[in-house]
Amino acid sequence: MSGVTDPQLQHTLKKRHLSMIAIAGVIGAGLFVGSGAAIQETGPGVLVSYAAAGLVVVLVMRMLGEMAAAHPETGSFSAYADRAIGRWAGFTVGWLYAWFWIIVLGIEATAGAVIMNRWIPGVPQWGWALILMVVLTLTNIVSVKSFGEFEFWFASFKVAAIVIFLVVGVLAICGAMPGVDAPGLTNLTGHGGFFPNGGGAVFATILVVVFSFFGAEIATIAAGESANPTAAVSSAVKSVVWRILVFYIGSIAIVVTLLPWDDASVALSPYVAVIDNLGIPAAGNIMDVIVLTSVLSCLNSGLYTASRMLFSLSRRGDAPASLSSISASGVPRRAVLISTIVGFVTVGLNYLYPDTVFLFLVNSSGAIVLFVWLVISVSQLRMRRRLEASGTRLELKMWLFPYLTWLTIVAIVGLCIGMVVLPGTRSQMFLSLGLAAGVIAVGVYLNRHRSPAHGAPADDESSIAPTETVGIIDPR
């Protein structure tokens, strides 16, 4: 594998790429399929669950955007935690995040293979999983621009699909669809009320839906490879609010308004149920195409994200040095290939031991979302003061600092406690805590025994002040 002496990644991602990468991170298969279980659990009150979870995400992204706009790095929150909290924190959250996305590769490759096998049964599921992984590995290896283009079009398709769904849904609600009666408020209040299962179900559902928002932070990781990272990050973060309002809350509102929440078809696949109810033919096939696009998008971005985090860890001396090698086209190919190989292993475990080994791995990554958000919040709390002390002009600021930052930290801790209290999520939290504790122990040990050549993160303001060199910015 050829490398180049220039340590910088290529800055070829454009603003449109970053915007769509952020959108793709928010709109996933969890919205199209997983929302059915949330609706069944909570009823129309699920809108409150999505709104509450969305608010946490908006606040976390605002904090992350503040740091990323001031100091764009491919390591993103891992690099910020390194400086703001300690070397062990950056090490821990970086490895946990990479682990999360590698596990996701196994889940998404299998989901995509199931759809492809349904269309073309002549190729076995494992064959389709292999094909999908290989194709998207190639897009990540060729160049970061090819990754950006694929993600741009994947996201564009998802946005187009959900916009059409929103338009058609609004027309149906207003009684403007031929053969479809306007439902009024019947489905929102006529089946046990807006909160048919009580307020407790709303909180329990927050713990389910909050994970479907994970992925918006990928835009801040990709910012290190964009031509104008500050402007791109600012634009992507500012648009998080309307994306959540329109795509999630808007589309879920259409589902629970047009159909009874306790309808069996809603629990199975809410969007297919709505399309069927509107008399649109081939609803199942349409949704298969949309879900497959979401799966491919997740595979594409998962490979990218895991490889860039491993690359950043390597650059900081927290992963094997070989993973920081960059090809002539500006891609950390070894990091991509390592992520792919481990991803293939998880795909194999999914087929061989779906209910034992693979389930254990999935559960071990279940609470990583909350750990990452908590680290982002604490990092911003500490880094903001340093940036202001250094006289840095912040292009993007967290609202009502530090009050909303503290409120977000309390909310995330509350969600962690909720995962312990609820039987359905308790094992995930305990396994994730066990994994995190193990990684922290390794990080602390390595930091104490690190050779002087690796250095230590600078504590003065210069280590967090912005610099004109964009990409991997590391004072060590």
What percent of the chain stands above pLDDT 90?
36
Distance from the first to the final alpha carbon of the chain: 26
Contact 222, 304 (CB under 8 A): yes
Helix axes 46-70, 199-209, angle to 10 degrees: 40
Question: What is the model's pTM?
Answer: 0.88
Degrees, nearest 5: CA angle 213-215-216: 85
DSSP state of 463: G
Q: What is the pLDDT of residue 5?
A: 38
What percent of the chain stands above pLDDT 70?
92
The single residue listed with the structure tokens 């900081």 is 316
Contact 141, 340 (CB under 8 A): no
Distance separating alpha carbons of residues 50 and 55, to the nearest angstrom: 8
Q: What is the pLDDT of residue 8?
A: 64
Q: What is the pLDDT of residue 455?
A: 45
* pLDDT one-digit tens code per residue, 9-67: 777 787 777 777 777 666 776 777 778 888 999 999 999 999 999 999 999 999 999 99
Q: What is the pLDDT of residue 16?
A: 79
Q: Which residues contact 84 (CB under 8 A, 6 or more apart)?
A: 378, 379, 380, 382, 383, 386, 464
Distance separating alpha carbons of residues 152 and 249, to the nearest angstrom: 23
Q: What is the pLDDT of residue 255?
A: 94
Q: Which residues pair with 13 in a beta bridge?
A: 226
| Mean pLDDT, the chain, whole residue set | 85
Is the per-residue pLDDT at 472 higher than 80? no
Contact 92, 436 (CB under 8 A): yes
Q: What is the pLDDT of residue 451?
A: 58
Rounded average pLDDT over 399-410: 96
Contact 447, 476 (CB under 8 A): no
Distance separating alpha carbons of residues 149 and 155, to the nearest angstrom: 10
Distance separating alpha carbons of residues 163 and 143, to the nearest angstrom: 30
Looking at per-residue confidence, does 457 or 295 come out higher? 295
Distance separating alpha carbons of residues 357 and 371, to the nearest angstrom: 23
| 466: confidence class by pLDDT, cuts 50, 70, 90 | very low
Domain 15-447: top CATH class: mainly alpha
Is the per-residue pLDDT at 459 higher than 80? no
Distance separating alpha carbons of residues 65 and 383, to the nearest angstrom: 12
The single residue listed with the structure tokens 């939290």 is 429
Return the closest-CA partner of residue 302 out of 346, 367, 255.
346
Cis peptide leading into 72, omega within 30 of 0? no
Q: Spell out the alpha helix ranges (H) of 390-470.
A: 403-421, 423-448
Distance separating alpha carbons of residues 466 and 464, to the nearest angstrom: 6
- In the three-class reduction of DSSP (H, G, I as helix; E, B as strand; rest coil), residue 471 is classed as strand
* pLDDT one-digit tens code per residue, 306-345: 999 999 999 999 999 999 888 888 889 999 999 999 888 9
Q: Two tokens at 232?
A: 């791109």
Query: Mind spelling out the 3-state secondary structure of 149-210?
Result: HHHHHHHHHHHHHHHHHHHHHHHHHCCCCCCCCCCCCHHHHCCCCCCCCCHHHHHHHHHHHH
Q: Two tokens at 468?
A: 């004109």
Return the closest-CA partner of residue 108 out of 309, 365, 302.
302
Return the closest-CA partner of residue 110 out of 464, 436, 456, 350.
350
* pLDDT one-digit tens code per residue, 372-394: 999 999 999 999 988 888 887 88
Contact 447, 91 (CB under 8 A): yes
